Copies of this chain bind each other. A is one copy, B any other.
Amino acid sequence: MQRRSILLSSGVAAATLMAAHTSAQAQPAIRWRMTSSFPKTLDTLFGTSEFVCRRVSEMTDEKFQIQLFAPGELVAGNAVLDAVGKGVVDAGHTASNYYTGKDPSFAFDSVVPFGMNSRQQSAWMIMGDGKKLMRNLFKEQNIYNVPCGNIGTQMGGWFRKEIKTVADLKGLKIRLPGLGGDVMAKLGALPQQIPGSDIYPALERGTIDAVEWIGPYDDEKLGFNQVAKYYYTPSWWEGGGQCSMYVNLDKWNELPKEYRAVFEAACAEGQAYMQAMYDTLNPPALRRLIAKGTQVRPFSNEIMTSAYAAAESIYEEISAKNPRFKEIYDNWKAFRNSQIQWLGVAERRFDNMMATVIR
């Protein structure tokens, strides 16, 4: 104290401290609690929320700190929407298609069968109307939503028997939640809702015939290859899987504007980080699975075109009774179709050409 008191006897030092005081006001210490929908064992998904919390701290010289909790520690993995909206936690990392039971419109914030791939979804969110439409939707839940991660096109899951035609799907018990399950049901399958921890024994005992999870790297950890031989591709119900960061809207509004910018930038970094992790970890994981006997099988064109028709009819049915879904769907569909036409001109031609020259 003494040294400071001496300094304060000079007007210059006092002015310096006054400037310092202003700066201190602009840099308050903030502590948040964040919950994740994803178990710690999924280092891809949980790891992305860890990455975001670390980067927020680094960008603010540790002044904005977010404590991260695994599912079940504070909030169940599939209850993040309500928990964040009500302020049980300040933020949550989750996937919005977990909440289609509340309103199927939430799927557009994550993934819709026969929807957009990772890059197309990002374009809709960043430059299209996706962000505005999703913010309107989440505002009613008292949530500010920020895209935070994408998985890319997922695998179509593990099947105990080969599936060649739509007829083979009849009565098939497949663990597949959300809109993808609705499409499967239209094709005659019996979609099952089974919590993550119960999936393996159900598949092993034959209580279910098939399970969709994520992709090679994550699936390998759960050992599905030990109880199902056929690994189908692609997941036409998850051409990209966007994850989201939810923030309690009151907490968001209270946050100094520079911390809001920091949080959004950290989520953008997290988005790139998650996609890069999947893209880097999946190829060797698939090679390991194949080496252990997994048989990769493409879905037949008959199954995919039938599923597409079923999906479109479901979207029309929902649109007829849910005006908000219709508003978003119409915007999303026009953007998707434009993206797919353009993709065929350069990017998809390049990718297909590379597949012919690299073996």
- Contact between B353 and A236 (Cβ–Cβ < 8 Å)? yes
**A339 proximal to B (CB < 8 A):** yes
Question: In the complex, which residues of chain B have a beta carbon less than 8 angstroms from the beta carbon of A11?
Answer: 1
Give the docked Cα–Cα distance between A21 and B92 (Å). 34
Give the docked Cα–Cα distance between A24 and B25 (Å). 10
Q: Contact mask A182-212 → B, CB, 8 Å, 1/0?
A: 0000000000000000000000000000000
**A8 proximal to B (CB < 8 A):** yes
* Complex interface: stretch among A66-74, A99-107, A117-125: A117-125
Q: Contact mask A9-30 → B, CB, 8 Å, 1/0?
A: 0010011111111011011000
Give the docked Cα–Cα distance between A1 and B340 (Å). 64
- Contact between B272 and A268 (Cβ–Cβ < 8 Å)? yes
Question: In the complex, which residues of chain B have a beta carbon less than 8 angstroms from the beta carbon of A282?
Answer: 342
Question: In the complex, which residues of chain B have a beta carbon less than 8 angstroms from the beta carbon of A1?
Answer: 11, 14-15
Give the docked Cα–Cα distance between A8 and B21 (Å). 13
Q: Which residue of B20, B281, B298 is within 8 Å of A17 (Cβ)?
A: B20
Question: In the complex, which residues of chain B have a beta carbon less than 8 angstroms from the beta carbon of A280?
Answer: 123, 126-128
Look across to chain B and name the residue whose beta carbon is closest to the beta carbon of A59. B261
Q: Which of A45-78 contact B (CB under 8 A)?
A: 55, 58-61
Give the docked Cα–Cα distance between A351 and B60 (Å). 40
As for how many copies of this chain the complex holds, the number is 2
Give the docked Cα–Cα distance between A118 and B120 (Å). 13
**A87 proximal to B (CB < 8 A):** no
Question: In the complex, which residues of chain B have a beta carbon less than 8 angstroms from the beta carbon of A58?
Answer: 257-258, 261
Given A14-B4, A346-B153, are A338 and B283 neighbors across the interface (CB < 8 Å)? yes
Question: In the complex, which residues of chain B have a beta carbon less than 8 angstroms from the beta carbon of A339?
Answer: 279, 283
Q: Contact mask A311-344 → B, CB, 8 Å, 1/0?
A: 0000000000000000000000000111111111
Look across to chain B and name the residue whose beta carbon is closest to the beta carbon of A273. B126
Q: Which of A263-293 contact B (CB under 8 A)?
A: 264-266, 268-269, 271-273, 275-277, 279-284, 286
**A85 proximal to B (CB < 8 A):** no
- What 9 A-B pairs are tightest by C-beta distance, nearest first? A20-B24, A126-B276, A127-B280, A123-B279, A283-B342, A265-B265, A58-B261, A234-B350, A268-B269
Offer 11 A-B interface pairs, CB within 8 angstroms, sorted by A. Answer: A4-B14, A58-B261, A59-B258, A59-B262, A60-B258, A119-B275, A127-B280, A233-B346, A269-B269, A283-B338, A343-B355
Binding site for B on A (CB under 8 A): 1, 4-5, 8, 11, 14-21, 23-24, 26-27, 55, 58-61, 114, 117-120, 122-123, 125-128, 152-155, 215, 233-236, 239, 256-258, 261-262, 264-266, 268-269, 271-273, 275-277, 279-284, 286, 296, 298, 301, 304-305, 308, 336-358
